């Protein structure tokens, strides 16, 4: 997806504009709560174009300390990778030397620059914003991020300045169009028969050759050693020097009667380190990310000595964003001093650090000695099946009714969503469409609650699931009522049921 970077001096409202543009969408890849000085990425969509929005720290010519210097490096990196740059300035404060310094930095940028004159909360401030023409760009847009004023015009200009759609973006739209068609058919089917089938889950057969497993993680955590342990031979160069594996390497393996394609990927470094490194490292990291996108399941290898790092969370976030199944393998377990509670302590720490990975199984292995490496692959096969699982509509709606009865959706801005029915629209990953009034006001905490209830009822271990909320104002799905019978006839039926013989197990 194309990238739009928000840059400017400190305190001009870049983060407010970021939140306004991204809205309630899920932040991706580098949204880490304890590293707010890093770039923050989010996905936005406007006029049928989807793009990544990057919020950066404030640009300053003379950083106060080492941390501020790193903030400047992050901002400059965002500028270098952007397809469109929004220079954000403050209409209330007027032009400052800091704005001029930021503008000087952007003059050499290859991407088009638009000036967002933020905090233009009234017509007077809009007129005063004309002074920012002195920065050198004719494309200036008075906005008020906090109130939404002028943001639509700004986004129109952003979309106009974006590069043409890539092949991947066109393919994404085709997939979503097919998904939309499936949703419409499912909606018609649900409306036609609210009772539906009583079968709980329908399993989809999986061709033996279809399971693709990517082995991913930071450099030097033992990915190639894990692949070699699974293959039982030295198929991949193993070295203590980080960065030995440059390409994503495919290897076919027969396992438990199934054919798997294992992909050993290059170590994925922090983006700043990749951008500053050789071109080979940049391309190998890109290939590793693409390998995740074409996998059914990813095995994320962690170093037991280092524990979970921010970069591990970054890679895991990309796996989830791609809708790929996930196994977390804690490698080098043989080097850890441990007792009966050590593994549980590791698991608890990981669950607390990255709660969005609570669905992923965790195994402790030693790729070097072969300790429990088979468990990682066994888990991957189970997850591959889970990704293709379908749930009967009637059972899904039973779970939805029970969940909303136990905990109704909270009101957002005075409006409480009411759920009518749900259906599964897709697999790989499992995707559910929930029809409701005020669908746009479903709070993120209630989304998480509904996801947890679906998982509790149907499993889906190790795979992300998608919940799509659609606006609907009627056709509430209720359990099918039994036909009424005369009271005497009802007693006769009940007496007959008590006398009915029980079938023997071999019938």
Looking at residue 387, its pLDDT comes to 93
Looking at residue 328, its pLDDT comes to 96
- Minimum mean pLDDT range among 154-158, 315-319, 371-375: 315-319
Q: Where in the chain is the domain with CATH 3.30.300.20?
A: 178-203+388-507
C-alpha to C-alpha distance for 424 and 308, rounded to whole angstroms:
34
* pLDDT tens, residue by residue, 446-492: 999 999 999 999 999 999 999 999 887 555 444 444 444 444 444 44
CB contact at 8 A, 379 and 398: no
Most confidently modeled range among 191-205, 231-245, 363-377, 461-475 = 363-377
Q: Give the mean pLDDT of 158-173.
A: 80
C-alpha to C-alpha distance for 90 and 135, rounded to whole angstroms:
13
CB contact at 8 A, 312 and 302: yes
Angle at 70 between CA 65 and CA 74, to 5 degrees: 150
Q: Give the mean pLDDT of 78-100.
A: 88
Burial class (CB in 10 A: 0-12, 13-18, 19+), 2: buried
Question: Which segments of 200-263 does DSSP mark as H helices, in order?
Answer: 223-231
pTM attached to this predicted model? 0.55
CATH architecture of 3-161: 3-Layer(aba) Sandwich (3.40)
Burial class (CB in 10 A: 0-12, 13-18, 19+), 262: buried
Q: Which residue has the higher pLDDT, 193 or 97?
A: 97
Nearest to 429 by CA among 470, 380, 463: 463
Looking at residue 60, its pLDDT comes to 65
CATH value of 208-387 in 3.40.50.300, 3.30.70.3270, 3.30.70.890, 3.40.50.1220: 3.40.50.300
Phi/psi at 12 (5° precision) = -100, 0
Looking at residue 400, its pLDDT comes to 94
* CA-based R_g, the chain, Å: 27
- The first and second tokens of residue 390, run together, are 């379908």
* pLDDT tens, residue by residue, 395-424: 999 999 999 999 999 988 788 899 988 999
What mean pLDDT value characterizes the chain? 76
The conformation of residue 430, written as its DSSP 8-state character, comes to T
* Count of C-beta atoms within a 10 Å radius of residue 248: 22
* pLDDT tens, residue by residue, 223-270: 888 988 888 744 443 444 444 433 445 677 788 888 888 876 644 444
Q: Where in the chain is the domain with CATH 3.40.50.300?
A: 3-161, 208-387
Q: Which residue has the higher pLDDT, 66 or 487?
A: 66
CATH superfamily of 178-203+388-507: K homology (KH) domain (3.30.300.20)
């Amino acid at each position: 997806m194309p990238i739009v970077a928000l840059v400017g001096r400190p305190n001009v409202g870049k983060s407010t504009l970021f939140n306004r543009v991204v809205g309630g969408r899920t932040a991706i890849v580098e949204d880490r709560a304890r590293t707010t000085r890093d770039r923050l990425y989010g996905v936005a969509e406007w006029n049928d174009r989807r793009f990544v929005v990057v919020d950066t720290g404030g640009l300053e010519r003379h950083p106060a300390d080492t941390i501020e210097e790193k903030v400047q490096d992050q901002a400059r990196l965002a500028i270098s990778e952007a397809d469109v740059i929004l220079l954000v300035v403050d209409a209330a404060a007027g032009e400052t030397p800091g704005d001029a310094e930021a503008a000087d930095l952007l003059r050499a940028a290859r991407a088009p620059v638009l000036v967002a004159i933020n905090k233009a909360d009234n017509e007077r401030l809009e007129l005063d914003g004309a002074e920012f023409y002195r920065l050198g760009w004719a494309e200036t847009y008075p906005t008020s991020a906090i109130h939404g004023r002028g943001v639509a015009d700004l986004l129109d200009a952003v979309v106009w300045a974006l590069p043409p759609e890539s092949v991947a973006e066109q393919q994404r739209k085709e997939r979503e169009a097919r998904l939309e068609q499936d949703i419409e058919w499912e909606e018609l089917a649900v409306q036609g028969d609210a009772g539906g089938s009583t079968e709980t889950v329908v399993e989809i057969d999986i061709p033996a050759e279809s399971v693709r497993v990517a082995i991913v993680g930071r450099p030097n955590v033992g990915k190639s050693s894990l692949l070699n342990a699974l293959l039982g031979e030295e198929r991949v160069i193993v070295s203590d020097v980080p960065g030995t594996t440059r390409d994503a390497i495919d290897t076919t393996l027969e396992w438990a009667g199934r054919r798997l394609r294992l992909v050993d990927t290059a170590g994925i470094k922090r983006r700043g380190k990749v951008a500053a490194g050789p071109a080979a490292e940049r391309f190998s990291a890109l290939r590793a990310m693409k390998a995740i996108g074409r996998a059914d399941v990813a095995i994320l290898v962690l170093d037991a000595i280092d524990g979970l790092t921010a970069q591990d969370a970054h890679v895991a976030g990309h796996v989830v964003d791609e809708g790929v199944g996930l196994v977390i393998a804690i490698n080098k377990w043989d080097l850890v001093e441990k007792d009966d509670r050590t593994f549980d302590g590791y698991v608890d720490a990981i669950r607390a650090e990255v709660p969005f990975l609570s669905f992923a199984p965790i195994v402790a292995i030693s790729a070097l000695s072969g300790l429990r490496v088979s468990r990682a692959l066994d888990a991957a096969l189970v997850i591959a099946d889970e990704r293709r699982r379908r749930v009967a509509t009637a059972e899904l709606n039973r779970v939805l009714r029970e969940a909303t009865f136990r905990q109704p959706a909270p009101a957002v801005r005075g409006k409480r969503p009411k759920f009518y029915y749900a259906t599964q629209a897709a697999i790989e990953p499992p995707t559910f469409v929930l029809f409701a009034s005020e669908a746009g006001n479903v709070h993120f905490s209630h989304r998480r609650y509904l996801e947890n209830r679906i998982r509790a009822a149907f499993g889906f271990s190790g795979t992300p699931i998608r919940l799509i909320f659609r606006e609907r104002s009627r056709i509430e799905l209720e359990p099918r009522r039994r036909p009424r019978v005369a009271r005497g006839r009802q007693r006769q039926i009940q007496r007959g049921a008590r006398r009915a013989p029980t079938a023997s197990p071999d019938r």
